[in-house]
Amino acid sequence: MNILKQVTVFCGANEGNDHTFKSTAIYTGRILAEKNIGVIYGGAKIGIMGAVAEGALNNGGTVTGIIPAFLCAKEIAHDGLQNLIVVETMHERKMKMYEMSDGFIILPGGFGTMDELFETLTWAQLGLHRKPIGILNIDHYYDHLISLIHHMASQQILKEIYLPMILVSDDINDLLVQMQNYQAPIVEKWISTERT
């Protein structure tokens, strides 16, 4: 069983036009706080990011924000966190999040969230980590992306053995159970050099 002491939450700095995104983000922060799971996130006080932080902070949770210096003004860094780490680059931000967390939860987000999700998945695919990666599929936000990933596997571009690396639920409590029980696939050989 995976012990989740801290999880990184990847999500957007915008709220979107579906009010469920924000309310579920607040609830997610609350649940993590109640389960004594520390939140690591992008450090903003706006958007879905800010909602996760508020949900955790308002329920006694521990929240660490990690933000590049050039985004401090644009994303409006949260000044109420227990810990705000300012880094130089986006890559340094992701590395710090990876190093500090026991798993990753993905809420609705844009290009930045997709980048974070897929880099984390790629690292897992390459065997650089065995941490659980969970998509909280609020209001079917990620349905098309999940379908695309299964299409990639059906076309034999992505090996099917990697599909279980992506845990999916529309309920944070269920997703956390999946993450705690996650076992990374064991693949001896990542790329085959054999010709068919």
> Does the residue 65 lie in any domain?
yes
Question: CA–CA distance from 138 to each of 13, 81, 152, 195 (Å)?
Answer: 16, 25, 23, 42
> Does the residue 193 lie in any domain?
no
Quick check: 8 and 41 in contact, CB under 8 A?
yes
Can you say whether the dihedral through the CA atoms of 75, 50, 40, 109 is positive or negative? negative
Q: What CATH number should be reported for the domain holding residue 147?
A: 3.40.50.450
> Does the residue 151 lie in any domain?
yes
**Neighbouring C-beta atoms of residue 132, cutoff 10 Å:** 25
> Does the residue 14 lie in any domain?
yes
CA–CA separation, 146 and 5 (whole Å): 27
H helix and E strand count, the chain:
6, 7
The pLDDT assigned to 195 comes to 47
> Does the residue 83 lie in any domain?
yes
> Does the residue 50 lie in any domain?
yes
CA–CA separation, 26 and 152 (whole Å): 33
> Does the residue 137 lie in any domain?
yes
The pLDDT assigned to 76 comes to 83
Q: Exposed, middle or buried, 159 (CB in 10 Å: 0-12/13-18/19+)?
A: middle
The pLDDT assigned to 162 comes to 93
> Does the residue 27 lie in any domain?
yes
Mean pLDDT, the chain cut into blocks of 10 residues (196 residues total): 96 94 98 98 93 96 93 77 91 93 98 95 91 98 98 95 96 98 79 49
Domain count, the chain: 1
Question: For residue 30, what are the domain limits?
Answer: 6-181
pTM for the structure as a whole: 0.92
The pLDDT assigned to 182 comes to 97
The pLDDT assigned to 196 comes to 42
The pLDDT assigned to 177 comes to 98
The pLDDT assigned to 186 comes to 81
39 by DSSP, 3-state: which?
strand
